[in-house]
């Protein structure tokens, strides 16, 4: 009788697991580059996976094959035992290998221009009874999520710093500041500053646009280095004065450089947000950089 019950329970488990819905990747929480060799990009990711089934899914040898149309983009693997709780989300660490040469150049650029990339996933794993399972599913990878994961892992206020700022010239129309923008590249590969979209405002959250920042373009930042980039901060004095008479009487102006640096990595473009604060004292022609 015990043997019969065991067999029935085993069969029920097998039937239940064979009917599971493929878990879904809900978000990419962090993403770090491990290396870039032979056009294979190896990444370490922490993702949140949603299990919509009424049972827990646990096991080992979790693998994910990633496809776009007929092209195999790469493979992900979780080397640890995992457990996805039922009707819930769970964090999982997945090592990913992306095959950079597997996609034609024209299609690669098309992918990076999309708001989200529709991917097909083949998920396979070995369950608690040693039974192998394989399911197909779909996942829309939002480019903004990929970008945020990279920025959160590699860029912070400590990686981008404003230094050695001083007034270069001042007329009735404009005031020009020279400074060094220090950028630390923690990526294991070189980066290229493709362009910048940085404007100067009178308020921390925006407000009136009163100037712009020019740090050049097509500037290479080598891996594991800190680049000191000469930068120009140009203020329209009429616009700055028009933001409030009280600021003129106070004897100083708060300026906020807000925007993005457009970086390129292996033909992948992504934006790094910038928010820098400095104070200008026109009577003494001095500048103070505010670290926030």
User: What topology does CATH give the domain 22-154?
Assistant: Immunoglobulin-like (2.60.40)
pLDDT value at residue 10: 44
Residue spans of the chain under pLDDT 70:
1-20, 36, 100, 103-114, 127-131, 133, 156-158, 244-249, 266-267
pLDDT value at residue 13: 46
226-265 pLDDT, tens digit per residue, is: 999 999 999 999 998 888 656 666 788 899 999 999 888 7
CB 167 within 8 A of CB 285: yes
What pTM, to 2 d.p., does this model score? 0.66
Task: Pick the closest to residue 85 from 47, 57, 59 (CA basis).
Answer: 57
pLDDT value at residue 4: 37
Task: Pick the closest to residue 141 from 49, 26, 52, 31 (CA basis).
Answer: 26
Q: How many angstroms separate the CA atoms of 247 and 249, rounded? A: 5
Strands 191-203, 116-127: pairing is unpaired
CATH number for the region 160-290 comes to 2.60.40.10
pLDDT value at residue 14: 42
Structural domain boundaries in the chain: 22-154, 160-290
β partners of residue 119: 139
Long-range contacts, 226-229 (Cβ 8 Å, 24+):
226/182, 226/183, 226/184, 226/185, 227/182, 227/183, 227/185, 228/163, 228/180, 228/181, 228/182, 229/180, 229/181, 229/182, 229/183, 229/193
CB 212 within 8 A of CB 225: no
Q: What's the distance, CA 237 to chain centroid? A: 36
Count CB-CB contacts under 10 A for residue 217: 12
pLDDT value at residue 131: 63
pLDDT value at residue 12: 43
Q: How many angstroms separate the CA atoms of 31 and 187, rounded? A: 11
22-154 and 160-290 have identical folds = yes
């Amino acid at each position: 009788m015990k043997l019969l019950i065991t067999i029935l329970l085993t069969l029920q488990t097998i039937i239940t697991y064979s009917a599971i819905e493929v878990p879904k990747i809900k978000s990419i929480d962090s993403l770090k580059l491990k290396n870039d060799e032979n056009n294979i990009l190896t990444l370490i990711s922490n993702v949140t996976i949603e299990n919509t089934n009424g049972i827990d899914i646990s096991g080992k040898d979790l693998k994910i094959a990633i496809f776009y149309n007929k092209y195999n983009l790469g493979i992900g693997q979780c080397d640890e035992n995992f457990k996805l709780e039922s009707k819930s989300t769970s964090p999982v660490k997945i090592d990913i290998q992306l095959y950079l040469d597997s996609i034609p150049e024209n299609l690669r650029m098309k992918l990076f221009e999309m708001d989200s990339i529709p991917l097909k996933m083949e998920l396979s794993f070995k369950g608690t009874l040693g039974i192998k399972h394989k399911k197909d599913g779909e996942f829309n990878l939002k480019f903004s999520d990929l970008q945020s994961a990279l920025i959160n892992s590699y860029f912070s206020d400590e990686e981008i710093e404003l230094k050695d700022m001083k007034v270069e010239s001042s007329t009735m129309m404009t005031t020009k500041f020279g400074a060094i923008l220090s950028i630390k590249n923690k990526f294991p590969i070189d980066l290229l500053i493709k362009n910048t979209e940085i404007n100067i405002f009178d308020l921390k959250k925006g407000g009136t646009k009163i100037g712009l920042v020019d740090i050049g373009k097509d500037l290479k930042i080598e891996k594991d280095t800190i680049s000191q980039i000469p930068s120009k901060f140009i203020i329209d004095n009429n616009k700055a004065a028009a933001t409030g008479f009280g600021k003129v009487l106070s004897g100083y102006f708060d300026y906020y450089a807000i925007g993005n640096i457009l970086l390129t990595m292996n033909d992948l473009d992504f934006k790094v947000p910038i928010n820098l604060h400095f104070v200008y004292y026109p009577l003494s022609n001095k500048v103070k950089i505010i670290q926030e």
